[in-house]
Amino acid sequence: MNKQFYESIINSLQYAFLVISNKLKVIYCNRSCEMLLSISRDKILGSDLVEIIPNKELLNHVRSVLQDNMTKSVEMHFDNQELKILKAVIATLGVKNQNGDAFCLITLEDISERMRLEEQLVQSEKSEGMGLLAATIAHELGNPLSIIGTTLKYIRDNMTNQAIPMSRNTEAIDIIMDSIGQMHGLLRNLSEFNGMQRPHLEAVDIRRVLSQMLAFIRKKADAHKVNIYHQFEDNIPDCYVVSRDIKQVFLNLLKNAIEAMPDGGNLYVKLFRADEKEAIGIDISDTGCGISEAELRTIFRPFYSTKVDGKGLGLPLCRRILDEHGGIIKVESELGKGSTFSVILPIKQDVSL
């Protein structure tokens, strides 16, 4: 095969390349190199490398490759009317001329577009992260704000009814104060967040927490004509948990159960010692519309929601919190009959949590 045949193959290659002598002059280049550098082949051949690519870093790498008989890959900025980012692979050819002079091959690739797309991806991920953070804050503050609004309406209605004892209003005010405390806790955690902070575990009476959450949502349940029934086993030990997070799990599940019964129904809450010796179980059941098999496979995905105005963050948040506590959450449901969300929570926690 003749020389023209080999040159046609070389010129059809996508990557640009130059062959450099030990005197740092260009002795060969292909057509892709002309296009990349926007310089004609006649001007490239025989010129000093630094004249074709005025980059001292590249020149130093070529010198070291020729001297040490090695291969290097570098990325550099190359200003040729417009700013480009070139990736250069420099390697010795492994051949020498009659005088023993070595040659090296420089392969050039324009990675400007790839770098631009990677930067866009980083910015997109940042924007997505900020959007998720904003949506999470809105969701987490929305629950206690809803409770505060409902409870204040209850107090206002009671103020004109002298037959209702003051203790009812006092209990309602306590609910408001606890909700405000939850919001302050969330904002404080956000302001102190550094990605390395370990959660504060404390011994928590789950019976008491569930009782508090049921008191929180009772006004909402009454408004939806939902009857609440609970069955708590005796001698349930305290669990070492992050109190605020576990309250949020129960609040989300109870709120979802009520909203699943727009025409009224029954809400059942069961607390028991799980089969596992060091765990407790909590079942939250409703007699609502139920969940289809297709939806059961997706309800724990972020931003997936069957509600018209839902954010799709409540159940993913519950799962994440329980994962962090070594717990699990499961759901069983039947369309038209209702759903049961089951939580298994270990009593003791690994100190590394």
**Do 239 and 348 fall within a single domain?**
yes
Residue 310 has pLDDT above 50, yes or no: no
The whole-number pLDDT of residue 261 equals 92
For the purposes of burial, counting CB atoms within 10 Å of the CB of 206, is it exposed (0-12), middle (13-18) or buried (19 or more)? buried
Q: Which residue has the higher pLDDT, 163 or 16?
A: 16
CA dihedral sign of residues 84, 87, 90, 93: negative
Statement to judge: residues 205 and 349 lie in one domain: yes
Instruction: Check whether residue 120 and residue 76 sit in a common domain.
Output: no
The 8 Å CB, 24+ separation contacts for 132-140 are 132/302, 135/303, 135/311, 135/313, 136/313, 136/317, 137/186, 137/190, 138/311, 139/311, 139/313, 139/314, 139/317, 140/186, 140/248, 140/317
**Tokens encoding 133:** 């953070």
347 has pLDDT over 70: yes
Parallel, antiparallel or unpaired: strands 265-273 and 226-232: parallel
Q: pLDDT tens digits for 207-222?
A: 999 998 888 788 888 8
The answer to whether 43 and 30 have CB atoms below 8 angstroms apart is no
Q: Are the CB atoms for 322 and 280 separated by under 8 Å?
A: no
Q: For residues 219 and 328, state if they share a domain.
A: yes
Q: Are residues 180 and 204 in the same domain?
A: no
The top-scoring range by mean pLDDT among 3-12, 115-124, 261-270 is 261-270
Beta carbons of 18 and 104 less than 8 angstroms apart:
no
Q: Let me know whether 276 and 202 are in one domain.
A: yes
The answer to whether the pTM exceeds 0.75 is: no
Which of 164, 194, 224 corresponds to the end of one domain?
A: 194
Residues 23 and 132 in one domain: no
CATH number reported for the structural domain that contains residue 249 in this entry: 3.30.565.10
Structural domain count of the chain: 3
**Concatenated DSSP letters for 105-168?**
EEEEEE-HHHHHHHHHHHHHHHHHHHHHHHHHHHHHHHHHHHHHHHHHHHHHHHHT-TTS-HHH
Interstrand relation of 16-21 and 26-29 (parallel, antiparallel or unpaired): antiparallel
Domain boundary among 95, 110, 125: 110
Q: Over the stretch 73-114, which tens digit does the pLDDT of each residue have? A: 776 666 554 556 777 778 777 667 667 778 888 888 877 777
pLDDT band for 125, please (50, 70, 90 cuts): low
Query: Which residue is associated with the tokens 């008191």?
Result: 215
Check residue 320 and report its DSSP letter.
H
**220 and 130 in one domain?**
no
Range 189-200 average pLDDT: 50
CATH number of the domain encompassing residue 38? 3.30.450.20
Say yes or no: 85 and 187 in one domain: no
Q: Look at residues 278, 279, 220 and name the one whose alpha carbon lies nearest to residue 252.
A: 220
Average pLDDT on 330-340 reads: 90
Q: Other CB atoms closer than 10 Å to residue 221's CB: what's the count?
A: 21
CB 86 within 8 A of CB 110: yes
pLDDT of residue 94: 65
Cα separation of 230 and 259, whole Å?
A: 18
* Residues 239 and 277 reside in one and the same domain: yes
The H-assigned helical ranges of the chain are 3-11, 31-37, 41-44, 49-52, 56-68, 112-159, 166-192, 206-223, 243-259, 293-296, 314-324
Question: Residue 126 and residue 149: Cα distance in Å, rounded?
Answer: 34
Query: Does residue 253 carry a pLDDT above 70?
Result: yes
Residues 220 and 339 in one domain: yes
- Radius of gyration from C-alpha coordinates of the chain: 34
Final residue before a domain boundary, out of 110, 125, 159: 110
Q: What rounded mean pLDDT belongs to the chain? A: 76
Query: Domain check: are 189 and 329 in the same one?
Result: no
Domain that holds residue 17: 3-110
- Per-residue pLDDT band for 53 (boundaries 50, 70, 90) equals confident
